[in-house]
Structure formats: C-alpha cells, structure tokens
Chain A
C-alpha cells in the first residue's frame, strides 16, 4: 500500500498494552469470507483469483463530491496508521489484529457528507468468475453492510489496507475493508467497492438472511446471546487445544470510547 505508517498511538490501544497480536499466519489463514467458501481455510485457498488492481470505490448518495475514486487516489489523501484491535467474531472466537489503515471519518470528510445523511451503506465486490463461493446462495450477494453515521465517523472506525505493515491479503478483504472493533466481525465488510451515504437504515446481509439472529447494530455484548449460542465468553485463537475461554468484554473492550453512542437505547432490542 502507498503511504507510510504514522507512529501515532490511538486512544484505544493505550489502555490495552497487554494486547498480544495473533501471528500473520493465524490472521491470514483463518477467515470468514463466504464469497470464497464457507470453510475457514477456503478464503486463503481461493481468494488468489481476485483482481484488486485496478480498484475503484464508488462513493455516492448524500455526499458533496460523489464519484468513482481509484484506490490510489484515496491512498494519496489518507494518513495510514497502525491500530492494534481486538477482533471478536459472532461465532464466539476472537483474535488480536495489528491493522494498518485510515479513519473512515477522514475519507467521508474528504468527499463531504451532506447534513441530511444519517447512515453509511457499504458493498463488497461481486465477481462470480473470481469468487467460487457465490455460486451457492449462502447469503444474498453482493454482501452489504451499514453503519449509523455517528458510528462511521467515530475515531475507532477505520478502513484497513494492511496487516503487520504489509498489504492486506485478499482473504482478509484486500485492498480495503472496514474495521469496527466494537462490533461483531461480520460488520467489518471486506473488499469494499461502494460507500453510499443515506437517509434511511441500509440493508445488511446477515440481517437479511436471519433477522432474529443478526441485528443491524451487532455490537459485541456479553449479555445478549446469539439465539444459538452464548456470547458471554470467547475462545481467543492461537492458544492451542487447551486454551481457556475468556470473558467477552462489553463493546469488545471499547466501552469507554463508544458506549455513549448508544445512550438511552435498549441494547436487547437494538442488538
């Protein structure tokens, strides 16, 4: 990726000096990216076929300067920094990932968000000829996700373009993906080709597939179980066969930073 890595220490990681990142091998060989297959090792095996150069992101909707922005254009405007975040999957496993990327807010401010915008919609690339998994209708394709505008503008929310200072691998969502560390992993949509500012709550793929199990917000919350499993604890991957389960933290450990976004909301109803 273009751009150097700024040596800034983000707010969230200062309180988390104890976070020990997973290895490159772990992070890049255990992925959920159903467009390349439902197995955890399918993406690493199949994602090689994805063309990521050239790459264009269409930014449209309620923005001042809508258009098709090339990946290089975007990177020339953004400051890349490293963020070590917890990553909690809705399946109750977790990792720690040293991402490189930029704040989504910087990108949105660059294109100019109009005052009527309240939500941000995202879309993953859909290329059946390069993505063997989309032949099966596990989900409706293309994969889509959404955030409330204040969530999208939050300084913790980033677009990742790298891991461990290297370009982000295709199986992890190259060339750029969303990372929202206080939400379940599936919110962090991969290989983004479209960002749309909207007035209404945008659709989200897992929510469409099963609204009872996957809400729009999908904030990490140990008190609200998935209907089919508990979210109170998680398996931190990389600890071997006998690793002990760990308690899951409210908002995945980012409660101090993000809890105020949901003041007055019943998190059981808006799960």
Chain B
C-alpha cells in the first residue's frame, strides 16, 4: 500500500504544488469580496491565511516523521511546501497591514504587542529560508550549512504556535492543539542519541 503510494508520488511533479497553492488564497479573497465570510471580511481573511500558514508549517515539519513512521516518502515536495508556507505567511502579513490595521501604528504594534512581535519575528526568520530555497543557493552554501540554516524552521514553527496562543481571548483549545502538534513533530526529531548526548553534557 505504502509502496504503491510512493510510486504514485514519485510520478507526481513537485511543481504541481506551486500551481495549486494560490487557489485557496484566491478562494478566500473571493469569499471575502462577495460577502461569503460575513461582515468582518478583513479579519476573517487574515485569520484564515494565518491558519493556512500554520497548517503548511505543520505539513512541512511532518514530512520527515511520516517517512520514518509510515515509510511514506514526501521528501521531494518539502521545498515546495516550505516556499508556499512563506507566501501564505506573506499574504497573512499583507492582509493585516493593508486591510486590517491599514498602516496605522504599525511599528508601535510590532514593538509593543507581544503576539505581533512574535509573528513578525517568525516572518523575518523565514525570509532567508525562502531566499535560499533553490538549487543555486544549496550549491553555494553547501549541504551542511544549508541544512543548518533551514533548521531555523523549528523555532519559526514554535513562534507561529506562540503567536496564535498569545492572540486569543480567554482559554481556548484550538491554539493549544496546534502548539501540541508542533511540539510533537519537533520532539520526533530528538532521537535517543541526542538525548543521551544532552544528558552527558548537562552532567559535565
């Protein structure tokens, strides 16, 4: 079953993701323009795009554990997922900037409001990843440095989860759920060896 899926996936080109990726954005904006998102469309679009960014971050982080746990190989789609994640984050940010706060007090908000600081930091940290998501950069940096740089997606995902946790009113499960999923996906990367090393180094 997994083998057959892997065969199908091997035949699927990664660029298909780039073709499909803008469709949800266009759909969300179409709904917003035609009243399909209720009477506060700017806020809803902003929220929907934020959720998509989180889902995509989770999808990117899930590629390795899925391969290890289920043998399903999605590795060739990971770069496309990452690039698309960046564009959703950008769309989320621009919607906030242009339609929601409308360029008012932007700098004060970034500095003063924790959830905005955290969200903006995640976006800034993602810039070098987006800019180096091409073969040319991979060659220039070399695989070791490139991989080290792209591990930045771990703190970015944590910041994304924190951003959502910080912005809701009252005690709500939804952001906690996302934070837990991201925590599990990151914990999956701590294999026993690094844990053992960590224990040795803390004892020393």
Spell out A's residues near B (CB within 8 Å).
22, 26, 29-30, 34, 38, 40-41, 91, 93, 136-139, 209-210, 225, 227-230, 232-233, 235, 237-238, 240-245
Contact = CB atoms under 8 A, between A and B. Distances in A.
Given A228-B113, A228-B167, A241-B32, A235 B173 contact: no
Nearest to B40: A237
Contacts of B104: 230, 232-233, 245
A161 to B, nearest CB: 24
Please give me the 6 A-B residue pairs with the lowest Cβ-Cβ distance, nearest first.
A138-B170, A241-B41, A237-B39, A26-B39, A241-B32, A245-B102
A235 B42 contact: yes
B184 interface: no
Contacts of A29: 38-39
A209 B170 contact: yes
11 contacts: A22-B39, A40-B40, A41-B38, A139-B170, A209-B170, A209-B171, A230-B109, A235-B43, A237-B40, A240-B33, A241-B42
Interface in B98-124: 99-102, 104-105, 108-109, 112-115
B36 to A, nearest CB: 11
Chain B CB within 10 Å — which of A22, A232, A238, A245 has the most? A245
B168 to A, nearest CB: 8
Contacts of A238: 39
A230 B114 CA distance: 13
Interface in B1-56: 32-33, 38-43, 45
B172 interface: yes
Contacts of B99: 241-242
A246 B108 CA distance: 18
Contacts, number: 68
Given A91-B169, A233-B104, 18 more contacts: A26-B39, A29-B39, A30-B38, A30-B40, A38-B168, A136-B172, A139-B170, A210-B170, A228-B114, A230-B104, A230-B109, A235-B100, A237-B39, A237-B40, A240-B33, A241-B99, A243-B42, A245-B104
Given A235-B42, A238-B39, A229 B113 contact: yes
A22 B45 CA distance: 21
A238 to B, nearest CB: 6
Size bracket, chain B contacts: 20 to 34
Contacts of A137: 171
A202 B140 CA distance: 66
B173 A40 contact: no
B139 to A, nearest CB: 43
Contact of B172 (A38, A41, A91): A38
A141 to B, nearest CB: 12
A232 B100 CA distance: 13
Nearest to A40: B38
Contacts of A233: 104
Contacts of B167: 228
A38 B105 contact: no
A228 B40 contact: no
Nearest to B168: A38
A40 B64 CA distance: 37
Contacts of B100: 235
Contacts of A245: 101-102, 104
> Of residues B45, B104, B168, B169, which shows the largest number of chain A Cβ atoms within 10 Å of its Cβ?
B169
B138 interface: no
A93 B171 contact: no
B92 to A, nearest CB: 15
B171 A235 contact: no
B173 to A, nearest CB: 7
A136 B174 CA distance: 11
Contacts of B32: 241
B40 A235 contact: yes
A228 B43 contact: no
Contacts of A227: 113
A91 B32 CA distance: 20
